Amino acid sequence: MKNYSKYPKYYVAVDCVIFGYDIRKKLLKLLLVKRNIDPGKGSWSLAGGFVKEKESLDDAAARILRKLTGISTVLLIQSRTYGDTDRDPGARVISTSYYALTGTSEINHELVKDNGAHWRSVEDLPKLVFDHSKMVNQALHDLQNLLKTKPVGFELLPEKFTLVQLQELYEAILQVKVDKRNFRKKILSMDILEKLEEKEKQTSKKGAWYYTFKKERYDKLSMNGFSFNLDVS
């Protein structure tokens, strides 16, 4: 287009901060890859790539996530765009980061392994290439805020979970200690969980009731002005 032709063009990329929750170890994890091109070849990196001509930024992020993990139905949220002139020593690249919440059970672990990707605990990350550590910190901050105001924690848990498991997830991600009674009261008072007729018995003799998230109920409440709020920090 003639009108724009005097302006510069840049490479445009997306990078994915792929969160997964390890329910046994009670740890928030991140899926990392080894970068396969220079500059920085061999460094730990977020999964990313350049945006193709016929795809939106959202589509590019979904493609990268699907290629790495086999997952296509997942919460994938735009976080922030990084555009410092020197962020990539190879060339000027503008990169938009997305974060994904994955239940580890949905992931194709063979595919992940074949792609050379590794899960690493968020609390113990290696040095990442370029400004990827900043992207992780920002995405974690976004996730913490989201967890307080939207029922997204369930995306990281199996379909049925105990209240203790839900609390542990909040504690792991918000990095706080949560009062058990208060937490139960708050979550149950919202009436968006269904108690199942089944107990989890591996962690205690007495067992703990399984619950499941009532998505339809929540959607209906939301339409009528209800706001999810679980600010336990």
Q: To the nearest whole angstrom, how small is the minimum distance from the Cβ of residue 135 to its own copies?
A: 13
- 42 touching its own copies, by CB under 8 A: no
The residue from 66, 80, 160, 186 that contacts its own copies (CB under 8 A) is 80
Residue window 44-63: x/- pattern of binding to its own copies, with contact defined by CB under 8 A: ------xxxxxxxxx-----
The residue from 24, 73, 85, 202 that contacts its own copies (CB under 8 A) is 85
> What are the structure tokens assigned to 210, written together?
């399984």
- 10 touching its own copies, by CB under 8 A: yes
- 67 touching its own copies, by CB under 8 A: no
Q: To the nearest whole angstrom, how small is the minimum distance from the Cβ of residue 34 to its own copies?
A: 16
Helix residue ranges per DSSP H, 160-223: 163-174, 180-189, 215-223
Distance CA(98)–CA(58), nearest Å, equals 8
Q: To the nearest whole angstrom, how small is the minimum distance from the Cβ of residue 94 to its own copies?
A: 5
**How many CB atoms lie under 10 A from the CB of residue 83?**
13
Q: To the nearest whole angstrom, how small is the minimum distance from the Cβ of residue 175 to its own copies?
A: 13
Distance CA(111)–CA(70), nearest Å, equals 7
Site for its own copies in 94-153 (CB under 8 A): 94, 96
Distance CA(161)–CA(23), nearest Å, equals 10
Cβ distance 51 to 61 under 8 Å?
no
Distance CA(50)–CA(94), nearest Å, equals 10
- 177 touching its own copies, by CB under 8 A: no
From 16-24, 80-88, 115-123, 186-194, span contacting its own copies (CB under 8 A): 80-88
Residues 51-70 as b/e (b if ≥16 CB within 10 A, e otherwise) read: beeeeebeebbbbbbbebbe
How many residues bind its own copies (CB under 8 A)? The answer is 33
Cα of 168 vs its chain's centroid, Å: 17
Distance CA(187)–CA(218), nearest Å, equals 12
- 209 touching its own copies, by CB under 8 A: no
- 26 touching its own copies, by CB under 8 A: no
Cβ distance 77 to 67 under 8 Å?
no
Nearest residue (CB) to its own copies, 10 versus 209: 10
Binding site for its own copies (CB under 8 A): 1, 3-4, 7-12, 37-39, 50-58, 78, 80-81, 83-85, 90-94, 96
